């Protein structure tokens, strides 16, 4: 900063060139028209990479595009790598490295990495996730912005071999090199969950003025998703829900689902959702049914989905434990979804998490009730490694996407 | 209660026949096999209507079906009207009449009435709504249960002429008299929002064991929705979102939407959602654009959707007020969606609600941010009559359904 010696106790220099130490990464947050000048300084100083936070490039028309061309030219000449412009950049929870200017809450370390073509992710979205879903853990968060230099496939390539990343989530408005992305995505052994906007004519126009992205044809992107076994989602909520399911639970080895719900209406909704998600309702074995009948009033039927409330009214919490474990042991069952109601009076079912993990089958939970009680329960479950969804339809739709991915990956069921 | 003189300070009688006063409505909550006996007592006592809370009827197989036939027979002979069985019955917020045994939070009086084939609605769902959306107001809540006597079309007929009901929401697993329902629904001047489960083979089987409902063919139900201009939804969340939009805001008189979002990414998502919801992005008039440009940094473009954040960074809250009002005044705009971010630091945009009402065009808001701040903002907005949705895609999907309803109702646009 040429106008200050010190800001918030940090020493300032008039130019990057005046900094005495070596610089690995510079964060450039000056008006776009000054960016070329700062880039020249960085080149002279031998900076290896920059994150350009500023907007006002090709997304804002011809003037901005001209500045962009200058910036690319300097980068090519000097070998500087650029993230952005128009992004808040990178966060790495393992090393504590962060380029975002947004005030962020503490984010849990974990095995989900996100690549997003929007600064939003490192600001508002992370703030929302940290507050609504503090049990979800992240490893790398990468804001791509206008992508004038570093591209999706390069970041993807890094994350595929990153030992701390188990699941890759992506938000994309357009690809600069779709072929390269396809080739890298295809070889990934890790699940890639992708939310692409800019799908319609309206959306493409909006993407052009947001990140100067060329949207491409949506049918082609659909085909790419199928061939590269990408998990396509249609909102940030879904991106997070599918990612956390994959991060926390094993993959299902078949399509047969068992469902426990605390209401009959939830059972009907669940049954529809199983059907429309391309899953199957498991036929419970006689042994399983027999075990469940021991905690069932004689007038009530044992079905899948299982309406558990009449059982809870007679036998308290026990039917939840018995039914969950009996279903997990049943070889006709590949995965289960368990819906719990909690309230100020009824605190909800609290399973023995370690025991549930022994079955090595995916278990998804649903929690419904007043907002504070649901939040408390969700934190407890998710901190113990079990994903919680807001309703049974959502949970089953997520399971459907994960199951389809698993089937393709293993070329089976 | 034949075994007690007093429970919780209330006098008990061995039988209904021993009650000295006249009885309008009896709530029957005894095991199903005793229900016929209690019904006989009610008949002798001259009770006009009963709500049978007990389950264990035809939804549980042949034994239950036999009890059910006995109960119907007594009702026919005695002229008693039956709600249920297998329901918690009725709630009327105007008179304070309630038959539910569930401990309920205070529910706001309002103009939405709900008919639901599940006791859940008067218990868990109402508890959830009261906690998550305290700004939504209800008039009548009707739990139908197995519908062995009173049918959907009869309740619908009542609500259509009920002066306190503006919007009717329904959850249905099956109809006993579909033709009668169709005839009544068709003549409704009020919007009917309907969530029908039991759509698939799986769902139909589950509905049979929940409320002994015959599901019918889903294609036929789709045709009914179209012909009777019912607003079909696919989850409880959507049922509530569409109902509150209709209850709080006027109907749009055209398809042209203007959107304000606090991020570029939100603008792209909104543009896609407008397209896929069958709406149109409004072409803002030159006058409108000129007004908005006065609160826009010179390098930033004025588009629809409008990315407002660069404007807020330069001009504070003013761009929200200017843009919202300019768009509402624009005769090319039929409705608007405004997305707000709030956080501990940035409390979010607080409009002048009375002024916004003067435009008589639908305004839907979106609030995103940490859970407590979003909750506070949502309460403030919804208590002032403006619906708030969790993200821009949801808001626009709701607007799409409402707009389609409006077009059909007015045989226009």
Tell me how close the Cα of A265 comes to any Cα of chain B, in angstroms: 6
Cβ separation of A203 and B375 shorter than 8 Å? no
Same domain, A96 and A236: yes
Strands B97-98 and B90-92: antiparallel
Which of B56, B202, B267 has its CB closest to that of A281? B202
Chain A's closest residue to B282, CA to CA, is A202
Within 8 A of B32 by CB-CB distance, chain A residues are 299
Of the partner residues B173, B267, B370, the one whose CB lies closest to the CB of residue A128: B370
Mutate to test the interface with A, among B63, B122, B206 (most CBs of A within 10 A): B206
Q: Could B124 and A391 be called an inter-chain contact, meaning their C-beta atoms sit closer than 8 Å?
A: no
How far is residue B261's CA from residue B312's CA, in Å, rounded to a whole number?
11
Name which of A130, A189, A135, A201 is nearest A165 in CA terms. Answer: A189
Q: Average model confidence (pLDDT) for chain B? A: 93
Task: Specify the pLDDT at position B215.
Answer: 65
Q: Cα distance from A93 to chain B (closest Cα, Å)?
A: 20
Chain centroid to Cα A338, Å, comes to 22
Length of chain A measured in residues: 413
Strands A90-92 and A138-143: antiparallel
Q: A6-7 and A10-11: which strand pairing? A: antiparallel
Chain A residues with beta carbon closer than 8 angstroms to that of B61: 301
Q: Residue A34 sits in which domain range? A: 6-83
Contact assessment for residue B386 and residue B359, using Cβ atoms and an 8 Å cutoff:
no
Residues in chain B within 8 Å Cβ distance of A232: none
Contact predicate B84/B113, CB 8 Å: no
Q: Euclidean distance between the first and final Cα of chain A, in Å?
A: 61
Distance from C-alpha of A10 to C-alpha of A46, rounded to nearest angstrom: 22
My answer on whether A223 and A317 are in the same domain is no
CA distances to A254, A256, B289 from A332, in Å: 9, 7, 62
**Is residue B7 domain-resident?**
no
Chain B residue closest to A265 (CA)? B118
Of A203, A263, A305, the CB nearest to B275: A203
The DSSP letter of residue B120 is G
Complex-level ipTM: 0.93
A346 touches chain B (CB under 8 A): no
Q: What residues of chain A lie within 8 A of the CB of B272, using their CB?
A: 197-200, 202-203, 206
pLDDT range class, residue B214, cuts 50, 70, 90: low
Closest Cα in chain B, distance from residue A59 (Å): 9
On whether both B186 and B293 belong to a single domain, the answer is: no
Residues of chain B with Cβ-Cβ distance to A119 below 8 Å are 263
- Is the CB of residue B58 less than 8 Å away from at least one CB of chain A? no
Measured between CA atoms, how close is B44 to chain A, in angstroms?
29
Do A405 and A413 touch, CB atoms closer than 8 A?
A: no
Do you find a cis peptide bond into B85, omega within 30 degrees of 0?
Answer: yes
Closest CA to B313 of B252, B270, B262: B262
Residue B346, chain A, CB below 8 Å: the answer is no
Distance between A296 CA and the closest CA of chain B, angstroms: 13
Name which of A272, A276, A297 to mutate to probe chain B: the one with the most chain B Cβ atoms within 10 A of its Cβ. A272
With H, G, I as helix, E, B as strand and everything else as coil, classify residue A307. strand
Is B197 at the interface with chain A, CB within 8 A? Answer: yes
Element housing A286 (H / E): helix A286-293
B1 falls within a domain: no
Which ranges constitute the DSSP H helices of B113-164? 124-132, 152-160
Q: Do B288 and B393 reside in the same domain of the chain?
A: yes
Which residue among B197, B235, B264 places its CB closest to the CB of A391?
B235
Q: Tell me if B267 sits within 8 A of A210, measured CB to CB.
A: yes
- B359 and B277 both lie in a single domain: yes
Residue A362 counted as domain residue = yes
DSSP annotation of B87 reads S
Cβ–Cβ < 8 Å for B228, A174 = no
Q: Residue A193: phi, psi to the nearest 5?
A: -105, 130
Q: Which residue, B61, B210, B75, is CA-closest to B146? A: B210
pLDDT of residue A208: 85
Residues of B in contact with A370 (CB under 8 A): 105, 127-128, 130-132
Which residues 215-244 of chain A have a CB within 8 Å of chain B? Answer: 234-237
Is a pLDDT exceeding 80 seen at residue B301? Answer: yes
**pLDDT value for A55:** 86
Angle among Cα B126, B130, B135 to the nearest 5 degrees reads 125
Question: A368 with A215: CB under 8 angstroms?
Answer: no
The answer to whether A149 contacts chain B (CB < 8 Å) is no
Give the pLDDT confidence of B230-244 residue by residue, as tens digits: 999 999 999 999 999
What residues in B contact A198, CB-CB < 8 Å? 268, 271-272
Question: Which pLDDT belongs to residue A214?
Answer: 67
Which pLDDT belongs to residue A185? Answer: 96
Residue with the two structure tokens 């080739």? A183
The answer to whether residue B401 is domain-embedded is yes
Does the distance separating the beta carbons of A301 and B236 come in below 8 Å?
A: no
- Which chain B residue has its CA at the smallest distance from A207's CA? B268
- From the list A268, A117, A129, the residue with the least C-alpha distance to A206 is A117
pLDDT digits (tens, 9 = 90+) for B329-352: 999 999 999 999 998 877 788 999
pLDDT greater than 80 at residue B277? yes
| Closest-CA residue to A116 (of A213, A216, A229, A26) | A213
**A251 DSSP 8-state letter:** P
Indicate whether B309 and B244 sit together in one domain: no
Report the Cα A41 to chain-centroid distance in Å: 37
User: Distance between CA atoms of A229 and A16, rounded to whole angstroms?
Assistant: 45
Q: Does one domain contain both B111 and B66?
A: no
Query: Phi first, then psi: what are they for B259, rounded to 5°?
Result: -125, 135
Residues B246, B402 contacting (CB under 8 angstroms): yes
Looking at the domain assignment, is residue A368 inside a domain?
yes
Contact yes or no for B345 and A369 at CB 8 A = no
What whole-number percentage of chain B has pLDDT above 90? 77
Residues A78, A71: Cα–Cα separation, whole Å: 11
Q: What is the pLDDT along chain A (413 residues), one digit of tens a residue?
A: 888 999 999 999 999 999 999 999 999 999 999 999 999 999 999 999 999 998 888 888 888 999 999 999 999 999 999 998 988 889 999 999 999 877 777 789 999 999 998 877 778 888 888 889 888 999 999 999 888 999 999 999 999 999 999 999 999 998 888 899 999 999 999 999 999 999 999 999 998 887 777 667 888 899 999 999 999 999 999 999 999 999 999 999 999 999 999 999 999 999 999 999 999 999 999 999 999 999 999 888 899 999 999 999 899 999 999 999 999 999 999 999 999 999 887 778 899 999 999 999 999 999 999 999 999 999 999 999 999 999 999 999 999 999 999 999 998 87
pLDDT for residue B13: 94
CA distance B278 to chain A (A): 12
pLDDT, tens digit, for every residue of B115-171?
998 877 778 888 888 889 888 999 999 999 889 999 999 999 999 999 999 999 999
Could A310 and B393 be called an inter-chain contact, meaning their C-beta atoms sit closer than 8 Å?
no
d(CA B31, CA B49): 19
Predicted pLDDT at B316: 92
Q: How many interface pairs between A and B have CB atoms less than 8 angstroms apart?
A: 199
Number of domains making up chain B: 3
Per-residue exposure over A236-264, b if at least 16 CB sit within 10 Å of its own CB, e if not = bbbbbbbbbbbbbbebbbbbbbbbbbbbb
Per-residue pLDDT tens over the stretch B345-402: 777 889 999 999 999 999 999 999 999 999 999 999 999 999 999 999 999 999 999 9
- Per the listing, tokens 């033709």 go with B179
Say which residue the tokens 């979106």 belong to: B366
Say if A118 is an interface residue toward chain B (CB within 8 Å): yes
Report the greatest alpha carbon distance in chain B. 83
Domain contains B328: yes
Residue A231's pLDDT is what?
98
Task: Look at residue B252 and tell me whether its pLDDT is greater than 80.
Answer: yes
d(CA B80, CA B72): 9
Lookup: tokens for A372:
């504070």
- Tell whether A387 and A351 lie within a shared domain: yes
Rounded CA separation A260/A309 (Å): 10
**A258 interfacial to chain B (CB closer than 8 Å):** no
Backbone angles phi, psi at B296, to 5 degrees: -125, 130
Instruction: Say yes or no: A237 and A165 in one domain.
Output: yes
Mean pLDDT of B299-312: 93
**Model pLDDT for residues A225-258, shown as the tens digit of each residue:** 999 999 999 999 999 999 999 999 999 999 999 9
What is the DSSP secondary-structure string of A157-193?
A: HHHHT-TT-SEEEEEES--S-HHHHHHHHHT-SS-EE
Q: What is the pLDDT of residues B37-95, one digit of tens each?
A: 999 999 999 999 999 998 888 888 888 999 999 999 999 999 999 998 988 889 999 99
Report chain B residues whose CB lies below 8 A from the CB of A391: 235-237
Q: In 10 A of CB A9, how many CB atoms?
A: 5
- Of B223, B248, B273, the domain-final residue: B248
Q: What gap in Å lies between CA A279 and CA A276, rounded to an integer?
A: 8
Q: Which of A32, A55, A83 is the last residue of a domain?
A: A83
Q: Check if the beta carbon of residue A235 is closer than 8 Å to that of residue B162.
A: no
The domain that holds A201 is classified in CATH as 3.40.50.261
Say whether residue B270 is in contact with chain A using an 8 A CB cutoff.
yes
User: What are the residues whose beta carbons fall under 8 Å from the beta carbon of B36, sequence distance 6 or more?
Assistant: B67, B70, B71, B74
Q: Kindly state the tokens that stand for B338.
A: 């405004």
Strand A90-92 with A97-98, pairing: antiparallel
Percent helix, percent strand, percent coil in chain A, to nearest 5: 45, 20, 40
Alpha-carbon Rg for chain A, nearest whole angstrom, is 25
C-alpha span between A138 and A120 (Å, rounded): 16
Helix axes A124-132, B371-383, angle to 10 degrees: 100
> Residues B15-27: pLDDT tens digits?
999 999 999 999 9
Residue B52 is part of a domain; what is its CATH number? 3.40.50.720
Of B118, B345, B375, the CB nearest to A263: B118
Mutate to test the interface with B, among A59, A170, A264, A337 (most CBs of B within 10 A): A264
Tell me, yes or no, whether B150 and B119 share the same domain: yes
Is residue B187's pLDDT more than 80? yes
- CA-nearest of B115, B386, B4, B58 to A299 is B58
Distance between A274 CA and the closest CA of chain B, angstroms: 8
B270 neighbourhood in chain A, CB within 8 Å: 206
In a shared domain, residues B321 and B187: no
The last residue of a domain, from among A83, A105, A135: A83
Lowest average pLDDT, out of B184-198, B206-220, B393-407, goes to B206-220
B32, with CB counted inside 10 A (0-12, 13-18, 19+), is buried
> Residue B286 class from Cβ within 10 Å (0-12 exposed, 13-18 middle, 19+ buried)?
exposed
Do B263 and A235 make contact, defined as CB atoms within 8 angstroms?
no
The candidate with the shortest Cα–Cα distance to B41, out of B10, B76, B78, B5, is: B78
What is d(CA B76, CA B266) in angstroms, rounded to the nearest whole number? Answer: 58
**Are A270 and B210 an interchain contact pair (Cβ–Cβ within 8 Å)?**
no
| Structural domain contains residue A377 | yes
Q: How many CB atoms lie within 10 A of CB B111?
A: 18
Is the torsion defined by CA of A225, A226, A227, A230 positive or negative? positive
Q: What pLDDT, on a 0 to 100 scale, did the predictor assign at position A262?
A: 94
Q: B300 and B352: one domain?
A: yes
Q: How many CB atoms lie within 10 A of CB A332?
A: 15
- Residue whose entry in the numeric block shows the structure tokens 């799986």: B202
pLDDT for position A308: 95
pLDDT at A386: 97
- Given this model, what pLDDT does residue A384 score? 95
Per-residue DSSP letters for B330-360?
-TT-SEEEEEEE--SS-------HHHHHTT-
Q: What is the mean pLDDT of chain A?
A: 93
Say if B303 falls within a structural domain.
yes
């Amino acid at each position: 900063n040429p106008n200050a010696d010190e800001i918030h106790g940090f020493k300032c220099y008039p130019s990057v060139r005046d900094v005495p130490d070596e610089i690995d990464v510079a964060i450039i947050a000056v008006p776009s028209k000054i960016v070329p000048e700062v880039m020249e300084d960085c080149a002279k100083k031998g900076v290896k990479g920059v994150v350009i936070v500023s907007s006002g490039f090709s997304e804002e028309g011809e003037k901005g595009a001209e500045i962009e061309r200058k910036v690319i030219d300097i980068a090519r000449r000097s070998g500087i790598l650029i993230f952005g412009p128009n992004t808040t950049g990178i966060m790495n929870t393992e090393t504590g490295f962060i380029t975002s200017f947004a005030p962020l809450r503490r984010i849990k370390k974990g095995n989900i990495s996100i690549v997003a073509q929007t600064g939003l992710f490192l600001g508002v979205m992370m703030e929302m996730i940290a507050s609504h879903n503090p049990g979800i853990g992240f490893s790398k968060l990468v804001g791509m912005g206008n992508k004038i230099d570093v591209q999706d496939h390069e970041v993807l390539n890094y994350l595929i071999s990153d030992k701390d990343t188990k699941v890759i989530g992506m938000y994309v408005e357009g690809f600069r090199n779709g072929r390269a992305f396809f080739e890298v995505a295809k070889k990934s052994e890790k699940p890639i969950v992708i939310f692409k906007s800019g799908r319609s004519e309206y959306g493409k126009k909006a993407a052009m003025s947001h990140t100067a992205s060329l949207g491409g044809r949506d049918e082609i992107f659909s085909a790419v998703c199928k061939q590269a076994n990408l998990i396509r989602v249609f909102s940030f909520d879904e991106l997070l829900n599918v990612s956390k399911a994959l991060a926390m639970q094993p993959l299902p080895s078949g399509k047969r689902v068992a469902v426990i719900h605390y209401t009959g209406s939830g059972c009907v909704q669940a049954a529809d959702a199983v059907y429309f998600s391309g899953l199957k309702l498991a036929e419970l074995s006689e042994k399983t049914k027999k075990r469940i009948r021991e905690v069932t009033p004689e007038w009530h039927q044992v079905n899948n989905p299982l309406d558990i409330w009449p059982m809870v009214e007679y036998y308290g919490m026990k039917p939840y434990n018995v039914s969950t474990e009996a279903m997990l042991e049943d070889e006709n069952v590949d995965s289960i979804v368990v819906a719990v109601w909690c309230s100020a009076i009824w605190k909800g079912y609290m399973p023995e998490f370690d025991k549930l993990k022994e079955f090595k089958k995916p278990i998804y939970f649903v929690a419904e009730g007043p907002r504070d009680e649901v939040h408390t329960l969700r934190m407890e479950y998710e901190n113990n490694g079990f994903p919680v969804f807001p309703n049974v339809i959502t949970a089953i739709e997520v399971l459907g996407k994960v199951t389809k991915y698993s089937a393709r990956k293993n070329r089976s069921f």
